Structure 1
Amino acid sequence: MTTPLSWLYVPGDRPERFAKAASSGADVVIIDLEDAVDTSRKDQARDNAVAHLAETRGAPAVHVRVNDLATRRGQDDLAALADAPGLAAVRLPKIESPSDLDVLDEVFGDRPTRAFALLESARGLVNAQAIAAHPRTAGIALGEQDLLAELSIDEPALDQLRLQIVVTAAAAGLGPVPMSVFANVRDEAGLLDSCRRGRSLGLFGRTAIHPSQIPLICKAFQPTEAEIARARDVVDAAARAEQDGVGALALPDGRFVDAPIVAKARRVLALAEEISRHPR
């Protein structure tokens, strides 16, 4: 898909899981060198990622989450990926300033390697607009667990931060913001409810920590049949109104239709069409 719905983390020190992750149905596989890997195994995880990227091509896209670029290990991670042929993008944790991304120019040079900046601190949130505007930034997302800890807030308070980051990404012309991981892999109902809540805030898609979460994430973010039908009604009515020279109109069920509503309906239909071409 052009706009990913599902992003699956796989620990870099478990190379035997890489193929399973690639066949999971996820749009993006993220080889994790950071939180999912014990310190004693991080160098091996890096070597595993580089070896895998030398062999893999095409779908699904493969990203690598490196360690904190403020550390020597994070810098070494990035340097090791400089010539990795299968690398679609890097995910950068703990980004707090646009200057944190300048190192990408030093490492990748003219290679147009994309970066997804993870905002995991109050300072990162304050500088989110400038981070989003950096030429190397392809997307931004929240590191929610780190934010919960630093800010001493509860889960419901994250909604304000989620909406803030959705607006920031849109203003910078970036793609939709995916949700952070849902840690309880057995709570399917909780995952679905959380995804639907995120969708209502403008978030789109989600990172997962287990392949079993992928179908649920896709289900939650795909347009329903009812949504598709309503969108088609709006678009058809708009087409008729254009032929008749009418700028705005009301549907038989009382819904008022104008240009913004038509634009939203067209996005729903475009997403449904895109998903139909890439079934999971």
Structure 2
Amino acid sequence: MSGTHAHGVRNLGRVSGPRERTGAPVASGTAGPHTPLTWLYAPGDRPEVVRKALVSGADVVIVDLEDAVAPDRKAYALEATADLLSDVHPVPVHVRVHTPLDIPVLTPLPGLCGLRVPKVTHATDIHRIAGLAPGLPLYPLLESALAVENAYAVASAHPAVRGIALGEADLRSDLGVREDSGLDWSRGRLVVAARAAALPPPAQSVHPHVRDLEGLAVDCARGRAMGFLGRAAIHPRQLPVIERAYLPTPEEVEEAREIVAATGQGALALPDGRFVDAAVVEGAHRVLALASRAG
């Protein structure tokens, strides 16, 4: 197993020990049958909704103590979430915290697999949170212009960082963006920062229109083309759309098999004349590994 594989998306549990950050590209084996493609948010003050999320088919459930919870419900949400996390669940459970004061309450609990840290702007924010949650995977959310400018510094700040994501609603407000395309530069910067820091490709932010499944599919295809892998969701009906959009097509799988077979024979080009180099082969292996998720 390569050193960079330790950063991969397959391991969603606690950090087992010190981890070397090599700065090398993510190994081809990081995509596989356990690669998370769907990350379902559920409000922390509605434990019945959280429990439904746990059986929804989502790869990861994110209990939200931040935007989804009204100010007068924050204390109850934390209490209910702590109760939920007193048990270990078959699905990895992450928590998007509201304040650093939430972290000491949650960190000792056996059911907690990761922390979503909102409104991160600097690497020092990560060091502070890592000190409060030793051994716990961290997923910073970049939600401002300053955060996007510091994307690589945040992504590479600490071995506990396992992935980064955009908080697009707050970022859109901060930038004064009116059209969705106005966020494309920030999205591209996020993808590049994650790759440069040897992290897995980021997941897309939520599609807020839960009934617009056709629009969700189109937007997922666009995100996939930009280098994202998977997407956060706010309703279970969005999950199969996201998964279908991010799984390789039969044509992509067949092409990947041809590439791997050709290179296995020592060939430098496919029968149709296309040149095959190491980067193309690595991509083909990723496609096949991800396709194994579908059986």
- Give the equivalent residue in structure 2 for 1:127: 150
- Counterpart-to-counterpart distance in 2, 1:204 and 1:85: 28
2:177 paired with 1:157 = no
- Give the equivalent residue in structure 1 for 2:294: 276
Structure 2 contact 44–65 (Cα < 8 Å) conserved: yes
**Bigger-Rg structure (1/2):** 1
The superposition leaves residues 93-118 of structure 1 with CA deviations (integer Å, 9 ceiling, x where unpaired) of 00001111223343234xx1011000
What amino acid is the match of 1:66?
V
- Give the equivalent residue in structure 1 for 2:286: 267
- Counterpart-to-counterpart distance in 2, 1:175 and 1:234: 23
TM-score (normalised: structure 1): 0.90
2:144 paired with 1:144 = no
- Give the equivalent residue in structure 2 for 1:116: 139
Q: Which runs of 4+ in 1 moved over 6 A?
A: none
> Which of 52, 65, 70 does residue 38 from structure 1 map onto?
70
2:101 paired with 1:81 = no
Gaps of 5+ in 2: 1-32
Deviation at 1:261, TM superposition (A): 1.5
Gaps of 5+ in 1: 68-73
Structure 2 contact 100–129 (Cα < 8 Å) conserved: no
What amino acid is the match of 1:249?
A
Q: Tell me, what secondary structure is at the counterpart of 1:91? A: strand
Structure 2 contact 259–270 (Cα < 8 Å) conserved: no
If asked which structure has higher relative contact order (CA below 8 Å, sep 6+), I would say 2
- Give the equivalent residue in structure 2 for 1:16: 48
> Which of 81, 91, 96 does residue 49 from structure 1 map onto?
81
- Counterpart-to-counterpart distance in 2, 1:87 and 1:176: 22
Deviation at 1:3, TM superposition (A): 2.5
- Give the equivalent residue in structure 2 for 1:60: 91
- Counterpart-to-counterpart distance in 1, 2:264 and 2:104: 53
More displaced stretch, 48-57 vs 30-39: 48-57
> Which of 219, 225, 228 does residue 194 from structure 1 map onto?
219
2:58 paired with 1:26 = yes
Cα distance change, pair 167–105 in 1 and its aligned pair in 2 (3 A): closer
- Counterpart-to-counterpart distance in 2, 1:159 and 1:184: 19
Deviation at 1:160, TM superposition (A): 1.6
> Sequence identity of aligned pairs in percent?
44
Structure 1 contact 251–257 (Cα < 8 Å) conserved: no
Deviation at 1:205, TM superposition (A): 0.4
Answer 1 or 2: which has greater helix percent: 1
- Counterpart-to-counterpart distance in 1, 2:277 and 2:133: 46
Q: Tell me, what secondary structure is at the counterpart of 1:161? A: helix
